Structure 1
């Protein structure tokens, strides 16, 4: 499907765009089913938070209507929204009169082996560490070079995802997913106040777990805690939940809470 730029079909961008020059912007990756952008409210909530923190002005109602219109035209697949600060003068200082640029791209549905969800995946132990920058922590901003480098660390099919630590050795997330542990019935995910991406599916699963009375905790996670986990899984808003069966020399069974939350994620993405 042809891309849209600022609501119009387009296949080119200005060379002055700050997203290209500086990674000055945000993005969302949204699953589309039956012409509907799934988990749209959560995607827009995260986008609004990012716009607020980066001081990028955008009409949220316009953004919603464009996403809905583009998804309706797509029918099914993966929609990528890129929001940049727009064009700029030379240098880091932004032009206060610059208009934010909205880029929508449509892609076919993601194709992952069914075994990832059924049998679980093995995580690659990434050497690349996440830098700690609280001002950007949690945002899905356009600066993804850490993930690009981390993803280049493995080429085999044995590993479906990689595990990333921060500079202090804390467990943070997957290269393109968030990580959860289950320990003695408590659902635990990493504190993302220093680095990492606050995923849409992560937020939804925390909400769903609390609604079901499942204890949840957001905290620092060490490799020792990972080793002691009863269950481990990763998630994102495109594939849902993958159980984690192994990481380096560690291994875990696919547990009942993982299966319960996997079913909830599947229902949300089949809507």
Structure 2
């Protein structure tokens, strides 16, 4: 893994960094493909939105140059961009607004089986810890302990993604991906931002793509039982594109459901999105089945 801090390759992050101490920062995770950054402009726009929410300022032009330089160095893989509040000393009280420290990490793509795109993944609802529906929930800040503990809960179980609940017991989404469900009449639902869902880059792209396909898509409250009545489920994020869900079980494994995947709406969406890794994996799966 390679690292840049404020544009300097191999530089160290100071021990008093507020992102390290308090999670006082925001981040984005980008797919790098053939020396380019997928959805580059959208990623920067969402990063700016999240930084504004925390009162963080940064030079967008300078960061853009650093990101593109890192992508050319990496070739293909994952680029993580972190902006942390540049302030030394102890205590929670921050400078506001504050300039930021720019931290870039570049590494290999996590290994995923081709079948995740072609034959679907397994998901499970996890009951604890729960997401609090605060104003910060929609922003990708650097405190990700809920997601870390959710992934710990499903470790070694054969489950690919954990589905999170908020403090009201309603569905928030995945620990690393946005969740969408499709009803029998092909209406698509995803948890509303007021439910604690993350306003992710790919979430916005999917909402726009579904609209362009004349699919009725709605953001609303989703209960756990709604998932078991769904015709299709699928997951999305910047690295994977679209994953169909083939099976779900609830937190105590007393309720479960399986689907034949991918469903019709999931197929239409995946075919309309120019996500390079997804396209490669689907092509590889088709070749393997011949």
TM-score greater than 0.5 by the shorter chain: yes
> Is residue 2:232 matched to residue 1:231?
yes
Cα 1:60–1:229 change in 2 (3 A) is same
Cα 1:99–1:158 change in 2 (3 A) is same
Q: Secondary structure at the match of 2:160?
A: strand
- Mapped to 2, the partners of 1:268 and 1:246 lie a distance apart of 24
Q: Where does residue 172 of structure 2 map in the other structure?
A: 172
Q: Where does residue 108 of structure 2 map in the other structure?
A: 108
Q: CA deviation at 1:152?
A: 0.6
Q: Secondary structure at the match of 2:46?
A: helix
> Is residue 2:264 matched to residue 1:256?
yes
Contact 2:19/2:85 (CA < 8 Å) preserved in 1?
A: yes
Q: Secondary structure at the match of 1:214?
A: coil
Contact 2:195/2:221 (CA < 8 Å) preserved in 1?
A: no
Between 226-235 and 60-69, the greater mean CA deviation after superposition: 60-69
**TM-score normalised to the size of structure 2?**
0.88
Q: Where does residue 188 of structure 2 map in the other structure?
A: 187
Contact 1:14/1:87 (CA < 8 Å) preserved in 2?
A: no
String of CA shifts for 1:140-181, please: whole Å, max 9, x gaps.
110000011111112225211111111111111111101000
Structure 2 gaps, min length 5 = 250-255, 280-290
The 5 A counterparts of 1:95-244 are: 95=95, 99-156=99-156, 158-183=158-183, 184-244=185-245
Cα 1:98–1:169 change in 2 (3 A) is closer
Contact 1:123/1:162 (CA < 8 Å) preserved in 2?
A: yes
Q: CA deviation at 1:119?
A: 1.0
- Mapped to 2, the partners of 1:78 and 1:69 lie a distance apart of 13
Q: CA deviation at 1:196?
A: 2.9
Q: CA deviation at 1:103?
A: 0.4
- Mapped to 2, the partners of 1:10 and 1:213 lie a distance apart of 48
Q: Where does residue 30 of structure 2 map in the other structure?
A: 30
Q: CA deviation at 1:263?
A: 2.5
The structure 1 segments of at least 4 consecutive aligned residues displaced by more than 4 Å after TM superposition are none
Aligned residue-pair number? 270
Structure 1 gaps, min length 5 = none
**TM-score normalised to the size of structure 1?**
0.94
> Is residue 2:23 matched to residue 1:16?
no
Cα 1:230–1:144 change in 2 (3 A) is same
String of CA shifts for 1:175-222, please: whole Å, max 9, x gaps.
110100011111111102242322221111111111121111000111
Contact 2:55/2:98 (CA < 8 Å) preserved in 1?
A: no
